[in-house]
Structures are given as structure tokens and as C-alpha cells.
Structure 1
Amino acid sequence: MAKVVCLGEIMLRLSAEAGTRLQYAQQLAVFYGGGEANVAVSLANYGHQVQFASKLPANGFGQAVEQHLRGYGVLTDHLLKGTGRLGTYFVEQGTGQRGTSVIYDRQASAFASMSEPEWSFAELFAGADVFHISGITPALSEAWQKLTLELIKAAKQAGCSVNFDCNYRKNLWSQKAAGKFLTKVLPFVDYCSAGKLDAIHLLGIPESSQEISYYYQKMQEMLPNIKVFYSTNRVVHSACVNELQGTLWQNDTCYTSKNYLIDPIIDRIGGGDAFTGGILHGLLQGSSPNEVVAFATAASVLKHSVKGDCNQFNEAEVLSFSQSESAKIER
């Protein structure tokens, strides 16, 4: 199996139960998660040696995060401890035609407050095959934009492939700021999670009535260094019923998974991270493009069936699900 380094902020998530507004909630469920951490958990579930790098407060919440990661087999040698707080976000679960809403409370967190590298790049990337980071991290501050670029360049110098998930969050920065940063960082990226909306709104590709392969082709022309693009196509019928299909672009060819109807959705948050983890696993295994996108999409669909931010299924379970035709009882 491969050695992977994931870096980003992991946060405390507080969720009201479905049907309860946040301002009227009497109790909140506690989870821990973040884009890069969720990918780390998926890859550890599939047997890879995964290090998660971040910075946590030196208190009980920091200890809880570390226990969460270790419980899934994620290595924490590069988890820094220091002053500041653990970033937090609050979730009001959608129901029916009312979508889920998120409130971030992450300013002055131990991670977001970092302004200089606090890791030895040589130690962080020693022997690593892939470095994974997302667009959420550089959205935190100008300092983190600089740090993200430094980290990616250091990973490339160490011989790592770089996987970058655009993961645009409108609550963190504007499309203009995100697009400007992407022009700096994507020339150093090997694998990229980016779909139609990213192509149009972040990379400036003209909108067209053509299929997703048109956008992949245009992104490939702009960024010939990127070997693989991938994304999901989601049709939202309600907060609890979605259709999901995965796509992957490799060697000038677009590959598409089967379309899944997810009904009901238990928890949508982290579904994209489960897809990214599945893509990376398939690429690291040397699977065919069709196998890669089929596995990743099945992993994402399964994530929608459990509470919390991270995927809780191993490789055998994902493969079994992807090959099944129904939700029959497994005896």
C-alpha cells in the first residue's frame, strides 16, 4: 500500500437533529471532521499508511481529535499542538426542500492562525507517494495561501504526486480570489478534483451546453501537467433524496460511473471527500479508470448512509456494495 500525507484543518462539528433549527436546539451531536482529514480516514480504511498533518489546541478537544484519527488508523506524527482554539462549525440538517446550512466559527483557531511553516518539509514528505490538500486551506488566510504553495512545491521536490481538491467554499472566500490562487497552484498539481462549476466560475472557461468532457478537455488544455481530473454530478430532488454519478478524465477520455439514487440520505457532509479518497485509492492501486470511478462513487454513496463527516467503510465493503444490485440483508 502507499504512503500518503494529508494536511488541513480538522474541526469540531456540532449538529442539530433533522427537523430542529439551530437556534432552538436543546442538544447538539458532536463529530470531528474536515476535508483533508476525511480523505485521510478513507485511505487508512483502505489499508494505506496515512499521516495527517495539522495543528490543534493543547487541550481536551485536541486530544479528542487525535483519538478520533487514531481510531481509524490515521497516523498523527505530524499533529502539532499549540495555543488557540479548535475550529468549530454548526450544522442545521435540511429536510424536504430545505437544504442543510452550515455556520463556521473558525477564526483564531490554532490551525488558521499559523503564519509560518512549523513542520520540517523533509520529515513531512519523507517516503511519501502522494500529498493531498484542498482549496479550503488556502481560503483561511493570505498566509495560508503562501503556505499551501510552499507545501505543494516541497512535496513535488520530495518526489510526491500532488492531489488538489478545489473544494470551493463561498463562505470562506470569493470566486475571484479562489480563481487567482488556482492559477498559481494548479501548475504544480498531478491530480485535481474539479468539475463544471469550478471550470466556469474559478478557471474562466466559457459555459457551454456540452457534456462534462468539454470542461475536462478545456481544463486539460490549460493545465497539461494534470494527469487526472475528477468530479461528481449530483441531482438534488430533496435534502434527503439525491442522484449521484462520478466522472473521471484520464488520457483524453471521460469515464462515468453508474448513476445512484440515494434515498434516504442520512448525512451528506463528507460525501465529496469519500469520493476523493476512493479516486486516490484506485489510482494508487493501479486500477483501470472505469474501476477507479466506480469504486469512488460507491464509496461516496455509502458515506451518505452514516452520520458524521468521514467514510466508515473498508475496501471489501465498498467493492461488495458497488457490485450489488439491491440493499438485501448480508447474512
Structure 2
Amino acid sequence: MVKNIVTFGEVMLRLSTQTGVRLNQTDQFTAHYGGAEANVAVSLAHFGYSVYFVSKVPDNLLGNAVERHLKSHGVQTNYLLKGGERLGTYYLEAGAGERSAQVTYDRKYSSFSQLEAVEIDIEEILQTASLFHVTGITLALSPSLRELVFLILKKAKEMGVKTSFDFNYRAKLWSQQEFSEAIKPLLPYIDICFCGELDAVHLLGLNQADGFLPQKERLKYYYQKLKETYPNIQYVCSTFRTVISSTSNRLKGNLFVEDELYQSKVHTLEPIVDRVGGGDAFAAGILWGILEELPPEQIITFATAASALKHTVYGDCNVFSSKEVFQFANTEPGKIVR
């Protein structure tokens, strides 16, 4: 059976400085298009799925560029609406050494943030879908989008469509309290949840685990508590990231299913070419593994490898096939593939 996937969110224009140049110094930017849900759509399209991206962009040259970007990666744009005043933008000041990258948003009153429920036919969008994916970034953009996401998740469960939600909390968009109030009505309708240790404590308000427990046991404790409250959640996922510098990280993936926590090996990400979209590549890898009905050990291995690969290319999107991810996961790092 063909597995269609639907993702829902905003595409933005990303303008990045060169490494070593601050935002208030630069006189040139590198442009990319991306956004959390769109990045997941691109990854899954490269993995061979039929993926539909639902969004709204302005009816101008920038909106046309977004459509071309999505189509160039094999993403279906049947439900990409045109209208509104502007495309959301963000500026990325590249990090260097111990100095972190910095994001400056310019996305208020974007076409997508003004989207209303009456503009889309939820049943039509979900009628052939196997899975629906959205993130907390979309929730942050407007009250009407929060209501729309709730309606879509509820309808998806009525129609037997798997649902996936990535917390993706952004402190520059809203407060922890606002996020917490928005997410709790949605959790009963979510099957696959991307949520880390800090999310569990600060966004869900779970009691803190014993600080003397190993990191793996603490995470397992939080995931067990989450499952006790929301038994509908079948999978909970996250990554452990150790930051040595802006271009040197360590990454390990976590997947909690059927009361067991599975972990990937540690990937050494050095040098990092572009970190943006690494979490979306991980999410897409998890979703692919679940839809392919792989064993948990293979799912987390594949997903973390997909994220590691994303760090090696410029732009928001992961552009590797599932075959390439598997090959990377099973090849000695840095070895020439002949």
C-alpha cells in the first residue's frame, strides 16, 4: 500500500551570515528555504514516500520560490495555499568556536500565521494519509493555528491516521507556560512524540527525577511518567547532544517504546557544516522507521544516522536517500565509499 504523509507548518526564508561575521557587520547573506515540518517532508520524500505539505505562502516571487523548492525535493504542493502579505524570514548569525549561532526572527503577520481553518478541507487532506506530522513551532504562531492543529489531530484519530508531534519549543516565540497550556489538550491525540528531558520538566511539569540517576535512567523515568498519563502515546523520542563547540558536537538518539528505552551509538559531528534541520532529520528518520515497521534498534540507529548526515550539508533540508543513510550507519566514519 502506498503510504502518504501529510505535514503542516510554515516555510521561511533563511538568511545566513558567513562564519566569523556578525549579523550587524554583514553586507551579504546566503539564502535557504526551510521550516521544521517542511524539512521533515523533504526528508521523507527523499526516503521514497509520497509527502504532502500543507501551508500558505504569499502569491509573489518568494511564494513561487518556496513552491519550486518543495517540488525540487519531490514534495507534493497540492495543498500549498497562496495569499496573505508576506513570507516569514529569519536571520542566522553563524556561530564560531564557543560562540553559539543566533537566530533573529522576522515572521510576524506572515501568510501562514494568518491561515484560518475555513481555508482548508481537513478531511480531504487526510483521506489518503498514513501519518500526519506537526510541531510546537506552528502552535506558537497564532491562536487560530493552535485551534486548527487541534482540529486536524482530532480528525486524524477519527480517521485512523497516525499522528506525530515534535515539541520544538522556541523561547523567542512564546513562554514555557503558554506552550504548556497549548500542548496539553493535544497530547491525547498523539501517537508519536518528540520530547526531551528538559521538555518533560519545564513544559509538561513532571516531577524531577533523582539527580543522581544516570542520564539514561532519568530519561526513562520521564517517558514512563508521560506514558502513564497519556497511554495513547506509542513512541517517545529525543536526542542527547553534547556541545564541544559550534562545529563539534556529540549526538546520541533515544527511542522509548513498549516500556523500553533504545539508544543509538554516539555520533561525533565534526566539523559541523550546518546544524539547522538536524532535529527534523532525526524526526523524519524515526517516522520512516516506524512506517517501515523496523525493530526499535534499527529505527533509532537509522534516525540518528540521518541526523548526523544532515550536519554535513548546507541548508535546512536533508537530501539523502534511505539507502544512503543505511550505508552511512554501517560504514566506518570518513571511509571512502567506492
* TM bucket, shorter chain: over 0.9
1:255 positional shift: 0.2
Code of the aligned partner of 2:182: F
C-alpha distance in 1, partners of 2:240/2:226? 17
C-alpha distance in 2, partners of 1:142/1:120? 19
- Aligned match of 2:275 in 268, 277, 286? 268
The answer to whether the 8 Å contact 1:244/1:261 transfers is yes
C-alpha distance in 2, partners of 1:100/1:243? 17
C-alpha distance in 2, partners of 1:179/1:215? 16
C-alpha distance in 2, partners of 1:142/1:119? 16
1:1-331 aligned at under 5 Å gives the runs: 1-208=2-209, 209=211, 210=213, 211=217, 212-331=219-338
Q: Deviations over 1:253-281 (max 9, x none)?
A: 00000001111111101000000000000
Q: Deviations over 1:79-138 (max 9, x none)?
A: 000121000000001010000100010011100112333111121111100000000001
Q: Deviations over 1:159-205 (max 9, x none)?
A: 21110001100011100110111111111101000010110001111
Q: Matched residue pairs, number?
A: 331
C-alpha distance in 1, partners of 2:282/2:40? 9
C-alpha distance in 2, partners of 1:299/1:24? 34
Residue 114 of structure 2: SS of its match in structure 1?
A: coil
The answer to whether the 8 Å contact 1:228/1:249 transfers is yes
Residue 313 of structure 1: SS of its match in structure 2?
A: coil
The answer to whether the 8 Å contact 1:10/1:37 transfers is yes
State the TM-score, normalized to the length of structure 2. Answer: 0.96
C-alpha distance in 1, partners of 2:276/2:113? 21
The answer to whether the 8 Å contact 1:117/1:147 transfers is no
Residue 24 of structure 2: SS of its match in structure 1?
A: helix
Code of the aligned partner of 2:59: A
C-alpha distance in 2, partners of 1:317/1:130? 23
Larger CA deviation: 144-153 vs 4-13: 144-153
The answer to whether the 8 Å contact 1:57/1:81 transfers is yes
Code of the aligned partner of 1:256: Q
C-alpha distance in 1, partners of 2:50/2:116? 28
Q: Deviations over 1:59-95 (max 9, x none)?
A: 0000100011001100000000012100000000101
State the TM-score, normalized to the length of structure 1. Answer: 0.98
C-alpha distance in 2, partners of 1:116/1:39? 23
Long gaps (5+) in structure 2: none
Work out the percentage of aligned pairs sharing the same amino acid.
47
C-alpha distance in 1, partners of 2:172/2:190? 25
C-alpha distance in 2, partners of 1:142/1:3? 28
Residue 66 of structure 1: SS of its match in structure 2?
A: helix
CA RMSD of aligned residues (A): 0.9
Code of the aligned partner of 1:20: V
1:326 positional shift: 2.2
Extract structure 1 runs of 4+ deviating beyond 3 A.
none
The answer to whether the 8 Å contact 2:36/2:280 transfers is yes
Long gaps (5+) in structure 1: none
The answer to whether the 8 Å contact 2:84/2:114 transfers is no
